A and B are shown apart, each in its own frame.
Chain A
Amino acid sequence: MPKKTYVQTRINGESVDFLTEPRQSLLECLRDVIGLTGTKEGCNDGNCGACTVEMDGRIVTACLVLGVEAEGKEITTIEGIAVGSELHPVQQAFLENAALQCGICTPGFIVATKALLDHNPDPTEYEIRFWLANNLCRCTGYDKIIRAVQDAAARMQGVSA
């Protein structure tokens, strides 16, 4: 078995350290080593977006990042989106707009949507569709997801206004 590397990182605002084989992806480390299974695997080659997490302010597919690359990084996963027991407005909007059916893609969509609204608080429908084009959903046909993002943007504008 290959020798493991010691990695120190921050996940969802907390210091986390773990051991990883060089070949293990960040996705595998999150799910199997650290136990954060909210980040999902749909394809393991960067094409479905189910494992979307935020790393140093950019969204990445965790399956295309190696565990060792997390060294010194600031990572946010789906488990870090809600503030305490309070859902983030994006999560609330997904619930109230029925923007999920099976829910397997939902963590990736929510992480990606939060990042979109952090960058662009008032996106057009086209900008939402463009930003979320790397996140596949097979259940909803995206209609209710787009509306949930529009609703979340309105809620967050309302909060900040």
Chain B
Amino acid sequence: MTTTEYERNLILSSVDYNVVGTRPVRHDGADKVTGRALYGADFDTAGLLHGKILRSPHAHANIKNIDTSKAEALPGVLAAVTFDDFPQVKNAALDLGEEVTTLHDLQANILARHKALYKGHAVAAVAATNAHVAEEAVKLIEVEYEVLPPIMTAPQGMAEGAAILHGSLRTDELGETIDDKPSNVAQHFQHVKGDIEKGFADADVIVEREFDTVTVHQGYIEPHAATAIWNTDGRLHVWCSTQGAFTARDATSEVLHLPVSQVRVTPMEIGGGFGGKIPVYLEPVAAMLSKKSGRAVKIVMSRADVFEASGPTCGSNMKIKIGAKNDGTITAMQAYLAYEAGAFAGSPVGAGAMCVFAAYDVENAVIDGYDVVVNKPKTAAYRAPGAPNAAFAAEQVVDELAQQLGMDAIDLRLKNAAIEGTRRPDGMVFPRIGCVEVLEAMKNHPHYNAPLGENQGRGVAIGYWFNIGFDSAVNIAVNADGTITLIEGSTDIGGSRASISMQAAEVLGIPAESVRPSVVDTDSIGYTAVTGGSRTTYATGWAAYEAALDVKQKMIARAATIWDVDADDIELKDGVFQSSSDPELNMSFADLAGQLGSTGGPVVGAASRAYGGMGAGGGSFAGNIVDVEVDPQTGKTDVTRFTVVQDAGKAIHPSYVEGQMQGGSVQGIGWALNEEYYMTDDGAMANSTLLDYRMPTSLDLPMIDTVIVEVASDHPFGVRGVGEANIVPPTPAIANAIQNATGIRMERLPMSPVAIMEESWKQS
């Protein structure tokens, strides 16, 4: 391990506050270091039954018959369900946070509708007195399959004469439905800016390449878990591990055809999600088993279930073509993106198309996107869904362009960088963004010019992800001792209790420790969208800011009553209420809090609305400088030094911002070098364990150095969501570093030793 003399974690700060920008211990910390925090699988209640799901052994098969009678006859089994137990519902489009699907697809993914569409697809389920009996029981369910040939990649699915997954699926071709025949292509869309042919005609240098990536998983350590009680009064209560209690409630109520008011979801602590815990898989099944058995039913996925039957992110086939003048001006950018949706329509190709050239201000561009169904699990969001695939392709072509132009790789990007006012090819005009600032911080970092050793290479890349806003609600109550309770609906996946509480504390001039945050169930707070889309610290933090302003005004009114002065005369500064006309009149927040009982009763504040418009925050850019060492004998690649630079707008809790940057970077390193669904010819995942699906361990990695850039957004403190953009640049930055070390341009992921040796033999 190298020792370094520079500061590993830098903050290029804009504004200083009292609480914002400090590093308090998180409010849920003590529970989480002592084992007291309760996660999805930790829930227990009287009379609890355990559910188990029977999953399809085939990637593509018609289900002719399901017979659960022998399973139901096993002592200890109290209920069994199949798709036919779902209520019949009218199809409708569903917007579930980062997931857009249809009600029929959602139902058929939760339990197969007479057709298994991937190995692991849920077919039936039982509930029994313990998990072992339930496991024995599902083996007694008899299913008659008619096996069909599987489609495993987008190009296979798009080929003439390919086996068809859904007889009812028709292609949406540039907005027109092609009615004459079923297809595996759910959608083809196109973004056009300027005149692409003129752009390439003006270019002195053109680089064009084709890239392929394979399915990878979010890899959260906690398997999905849900418990349901369908009570005798008709109300359904669900305890689960989810990124969005309201989204889980909405999806469950739609699938079961219940009014949302009949479903209450209590979010347990969540053991990682990265987008993969937005969809529901188990909740409606546990609910139907509970209704049939009259008991509480818990279902917990196994690790193999998580790999085979939750929602990984897509494999993709991409072509990128970029042209530039000799002075480095990029004149044309073209992308073809074909993404696997998994078993049902809805790949992240839309977002991939919006992000692929987001870092560049280019006059002429065309982007074609294809959403293709294949016989793999339905993809779910995974940290900046769709963007890392596109960046792996586009940022390598930009790197090659720099080489052909004889330009520095960061200088080429700076010359063409997107700025405020740049119109992306998809039509969005950027508000204030930090693309240039991130690139400059990379260029100025000592890492960029540090010496390299033998067999080592260095690569850079930049990536982009949005910052959605959407609905959040926060309630605050003032306690007599000067603390506040803060009630919110954003499940805390990585320190957001702290980052939300700190924004309220800043407004009220009290320490972060004086806020007691609680994440509550769907009956106890206003609608709050998912913890996802890099929105939580931004939008729920904004709600906390406004709820604290509400409390502040009410507290000022109390002080005005006590002092018999105008409320306008009083201000709150550094936690002290102060009359501007009479310096003798001042009182700390805690002192005033102690007098609420005698001045009109409790003070509560609230705020709830849709925060930020779509894209109003501008999103976040992240850049990497990566050094690798490639063993020329084996192709094994080690990351020897890694620097991540990201625009956080304003880092509320810098430690957790750094943590997001480091975590996203390491997921990107795993995606780049090791991780893949290794699929057999008949469509089975051959490596569905954490031994064979090889995620990075501590021993595989160096320290991950961070630079936080702060270019303020429209948020009151300038916050930008930082959860996702950091996973976008690692795969191309590592590919560029491998190219720099070996001369080999890697056109596929993962860049495993085998893949590197194969490419080396092919290219030499």
Contacts and interface: CB of A to CB of B under 8 A. Distances in A.
Interface of A: 1, 21, 23, 31, 35-45, 47-48, 50, 77-79, 81-82, 87, 91, 94-98, 100-107, 110, 124-126, 128-130, 132-146
A1 B74 CA distance: 11
19 contacts: A23-B132, A37-B41, A42-B223, A42-B690, A44-B303, A45-B689, A81-B34, A87-B30, A91-B34, A98-B26, A101-B659, A102-B273, A104-B221, A138-B219, A138-B220, A140-B666, A142-B666, A142-B696, A144-B659
Contacts of A77: 35
A139 B663 contact: yes
Interface stretch (B264-272, B343-351, B550-558, B625-633): B264-272
Contacts, number: 181
Contacts of B690: 42-43, 45, 47-48, 136
B35 A139 contact: no
A47 B272 contact: no
| Best-buried of A79, A103, A142 by chain B (most CB within 10 Å) | A103
Tell me if B's interface is mostly helix, strand, loop or mixed: loop
Contacts of A79: 34-35
Nearest to A43: B303
Nearest to A108: B221
Contacts of A41: 41, 223, 300
Top 4 closest pairs, chain A to chain B, by CB:
A38-B35, A104-B271, A141-B666, A103-B32
Given A104-B221, A129-B698, A141-B666, A45 B691 contact: yes
B699 interface: yes
A1 B660 CA distance: 47
B39 interface: yes
B34 A140 contact: no
Given A126-B1, A133-B698, A40 B39 contact: yes
Interface size class of B (residues with CB under 8 A): 35 or more
B38 interface: yes
Interface string B317-351: 00000000000000000000000000000000000
Query: Which of B273, B493, B703 counts the most chain A CB atoms within 10 A?
Result: B703
A42 B689 contact: no
B753 interface: no
B25 A96 contact: yes
A146 B76 CA distance: 47
A101 B1 contact: no
Given A21-B132, A31-B41, A142-B698, 17 more contacts: A31-B42, A37-B44, A38-B36, A40-B41, A45-B690, A87-B33, A95-B30, A98-B653, A102-B269, A124-B1, A128-B698, A132-B698, A136-B695, A137-B221, A140-B663, A141-B667, A142-B666
Nearest to A144: B659
Contacts of A48: 221, 303, 690
Given A45-B691, A101-B493, A103-B271, A135 B698 contact: yes
